[in-house]
Structure 1
Amino acid sequence: MRPSRILSSLLLSLALPLAAHAGQLTVSAAASLTDAFKEIGPRFEAARPGTTVRFNFAASGALLQQISQGAPADVFASADQATMDRGMKQNLLDTATRHDFAANSLVLIEPAQQGPEIRTLHDLNGPKVKRIAIGKVESVPVGAYTKQALETADLWPVLQSKFVQGDSVRQVLDYVSRGEVDAGFVYRTDAALMGNKVKIVMTVTGHTPVTYPVAVVADSRNKAAARDFVDYLQGAQAQAILARYGFSKP
């Protein structure tokens, strides 16, 4: 084979993996977005031929830690502003691409069949409630919202011995749906997914608004597609899907 053909073949072999990588978009998103984003992903792929979306769902704090440690990601969608703020301060995210795209609400739930019939937050301090599931305050936004609400109600210190901490809002939901705890704090959208297994006691107030920001990861290797995904989340099609899963506009 002539040297020119050898060189062309070598360049082509090197370019193919890069092209494949360029077509993949990795979106690290809060666990509460799982169902909505799994429906949004294929719609985005259809709107942007050649792009394949890969999702990584977990607690927002855990996802940010992964990004800080070099895990590949192109887009980060958080369930709170505080985690997004930390990412910005660490220069992990592109400030100019940050947008709020959804809102949610915090609810108190109990098992549908065996709940102790809680009516108010102060009932959690009663003898019938022995275990309360909450998200880990340091890494799970729903846990931080819960702490704010219980501090507002002067209940945080007296309830701490009852807390069972989950690694994500979905784990908290599982604890309640399986009857492993007497109550738990999740987002309304998550509670709706287990409507036959959990019961919403009340919408919880006394915390900062539950809003979801999204931004392009600073080290993204596919920034054009990442920006397109951020823009897509604000469009009519994605907003309609989010609304169907119970999210509201921020």
Structure 2
Amino acid sequence: MKKMITIISIAILLSACSNTSAGNDSELLVSAASSLTEVMKKMEEEFQQVEPDIDLSFNYGSSSKLRSQIEQGAPADLFLSASVKDMDLLESQQLIESVSISPFAENRLVLASLEEFPESVDFEEVVMDAEETIAVGEPDSVPVGEYTRQALESQGLWQPLEGRLIYAKDARQVVTYVESGNAGLGIIYSSDAVISREITAMLEVPGQRDPVVYPGAIVAASENQQAAAAFLDFVTGPTGQAILEDYGFLPGDGKTP
């Protein structure tokens, strides 16, 4: 992973991509992690105030699924990932523009519930004493599930809880399981808990080694790289960072974790 886009590197990238101008009519195809669904609606609204000629089209899913689509040649101009690993895999195959890689946000895992937790309760007490099922992301194919398994394994809780887990295809489905009552508890991103109208309680999940880093990068096969660079620059800029903060994300630190 490279450092965050600098003004110089953006200028180099833009000058190298002469096929598309950010000021021309164009459709920008953005493959974005499902946990970015709500914040990207606001991001699109604000971006089009400054770039009205760029139409944004989003493809949401788990980062691993989106990475696989890019590997298979599916059309995409920009990849906004919730997984450094998936971005690294694309970079190793030269499928994204390395100079454009930019960590634009961070997140944390929380245990979420529709019911308030008792005061002074700790995480292990809640998950071990509860009778409810617990929704988590599929650990072998979904970043939020992989992060969850790592955290629970570090606390010696993964195997004791395995029989009570419901697996979801992406981060948004974990939230849906909790909001619908199909799971009594769920391990989700803190940003999803912040924007949920139904979730009223959350506890930070112990055992998280590092924050969840969200890197963005321009797809090498894109024929719309200038527009992609313009939107990524907006996301990493002051307005984009303020929007991300409003939706419960932590600011990206601009460097590889």
Question: What TM-score do you get using the length of structure 2 for normalisation?
Answer: 0.82
Pair member with larger Rg: 1
Decide which moves more: 38-47 or 181-190.
38-47
| 1:152 alignment counterpart | 154
Post-superposition shift, 1:182?
2.0
State the distance in 2 between where 1:65 and 1:136 align.
16
Deviation, 1:28, is 0.6
* 1:205 aligned partner: 206
Kindly state the Cα deviation for residue 193 of structure 1 after the two structures are TM-superposed: 2.1
Structure 1 partner of 2:251: 249
Whether the 8 Å CA contact 1:150–1:156 is kept in 2: the answer is: yes
| CA deviation profile, 1:17-69 (whole Å, cap 9, x unmatched) | xxxx9711011111111111111113223322421111111111111111112
Instruction: Select 1:24's aligned residue among 11, 24, 27.
Output: 27
State the alpha-carbon separation in 1 of the partners of residues 41 and 233 from structure 2.
17
- 1:122 Cα offset (Å): 4.4
The answer for the alignment partner of 1:143 in structure 2 is: 145
Measured in 1, the distance between the counterparts of 2:48 and 2:73 equals 25
Query: Residues of 2 paired with 1:241 and 1:131: CA distance?
Result: 33
Letter in structure 2 aligned against 1:204: V
Task: Say whether the 8 Å CA contact 1:61–1:138 is kept in structure 2.
Answer: no
The worse-fitting range, judged by mean Cα deviation, of 198-207 and 167-176 is 198-207
CA contact (8 A) 2:155 2:206 kept: no
SS at match of 1:198: coil
**Alignment partners' CA distance in 2, 1:66 and 1:129:** 38
Count of residues in correspondence between the two structures: 227
**Mapped pair 1:86 → 2:89:** yes
Match of 2:56 among 42, 53, 56: 53
Verify the 8 A CA contact 1:30 1:77 in the aligned structure 2. Answer: yes
Q: How far off is 1:130 after superposition?
A: 4.1
Aligned to 2:168: 166
Contact 1:173/1:190 (8 A) holds in 2: yes
1:220 aligns with 2:222: yes
Q: Percent identity?
A: 39
Task: Give the aligned CA root-mean-square deviation in angstroms.
Answer: 2.0
Instruction: Specify the SS of the correspondent of 2:178.
Output: helix
| Selected match of 1:188 from 163, 187, 190 | 190
Question: Residues 47-126 of structure 1: matches in 2 within 5 Å?
Answer: 47-112=50-115, 119-126=122-129
Kept in 2: contact 1:25–1:54 (CA 8 A) = yes
Equivalent-residue separation in structure 2 for 1:180 and 1:119 (angstroms): 23
TM-score (norm 1): 0.84
- Secondary structure at the residue paired with 1:226? helix
User: Counterpart of 1:112 in 2: which secondary structure?
Assistant: coil
Residue 131 of structure 2: aligned partner: 129
Q: Secondary structure at the match of 1:220?
A: coil
Deviations 1:141-163 (A, max 9, x none): 11111111101101111211111
CA contact (8 A) 2:193 2:202 kept: no
Matched-pair contact (CA < 8 Å) for 2:195–2:248 = no
1:14 — aligned with what?
none
Which whole-Å CA distance do the structure 2 matches of 1:76 and 1:237 have between them?
A: 19
Cα distance change of structure 1 residues 163 and 90 upon mapping to structure 2, 3 Å threshold = farther
Output the CA distance in 2 between the equivalents of 1:227 and 1:186. Answer: 30
